[in-house]
Amino acid sequence: MPRKLTYLQPLLLSAAVAICATMASADEPVILLHEDLAWRSMGNSGMEMAILTGDPAKAAPYSFMVKVPQGTRLPPHAHPDAWRHSTIISGTLLWAFGDKFDEASMVALTPGSFWTEPSGANHFGWARDGDVLAVGTAMGPSGMVPVGVD
């Protein structure tokens, strides 16, 4: 079982994600104001994603933000990305790794909480109690592979 983080550790982890996002950017500085983010729908889930730097379709680092509306359940799935690192900015996301949605195994990720997703690691989530905003950095190419669907 991972040890409990002190109040400073989530802030340091968020800073590490920001540094990774900077490494994923082009040769020119990038400044994105909240009102300039290009949010796109992620299917029928109501979720939205904004790409901050890079291109998820390429074999290179990219950074993103995700909005997860209250009540959204993320069924078990995996990503082909080489790796993913994410931090909760606002809200609480219930989260677990595994092949079957199991509420009892979920951990409440609150603002500042950080997690990694190794390539192909099946996981699931739930924004049970309110909207969630997360930021992440990953190594593409990206995609989503539902569990149990060939």
Query: pLDDT for 8-22, tens place per residue?
Result: 444 444 444 444 444
Q: Which one-letter amino acid corresponds to residue 29?
A: P
Read off the pLDDT of residues 106-139 as tens digits, 9 standing for 90 and up: 999 999 999 999 999 999 999 999 999 999 999 9
Mean pLDDT of 139-150: 87
Q: Which one-letter amino acid corresponds to residue 97?
A: F
Which residue segment(s) compose the domain that 135 sits in? 8-146
Within a domain: 1? no
Q: Which one-letter amino acid corresponds to residue 149?
A: V
Within a domain: 93? yes
In 72-89, which positions are buried (b, 16+ CB within 10 angstroms) versus exposed (e)? Answer: bebebbbbebeebbbbbb
Q: Collapsing DSSP states into helix, strand and coil, what is residue 5?
A: coil
Within a domain: 3? no
Quick one: pLDDT at residue 102?
Answer: 97
* DSSP summary character for residue 35: G
User: Across the strands, what pairs with 146?
Assistant: 77
Within a domain: 35? yes
End-to-end CA distance of the chain: 32
Quick one: pLDDT at residue 76?
Answer: 97
pTM: 0.80
Q: CA 126, CA 110: separation in Å to the nearest integer? A: 12
Residue 60, domain CATH: 2.60.120.10
Within a domain: 83? yes
Q: CA 124, CA 7: separation in Å to the nearest integer? A: 26
Within a domain: 131? yes
Mean pLDDT of 63-80: 97
Share of the chain above pLDDT 90, in %: 76
Find where tokens 């739930």 sit.
126
pLDDT at 51 over 90: yes
Within a domain: 2? no
Domain count across the chain: 1
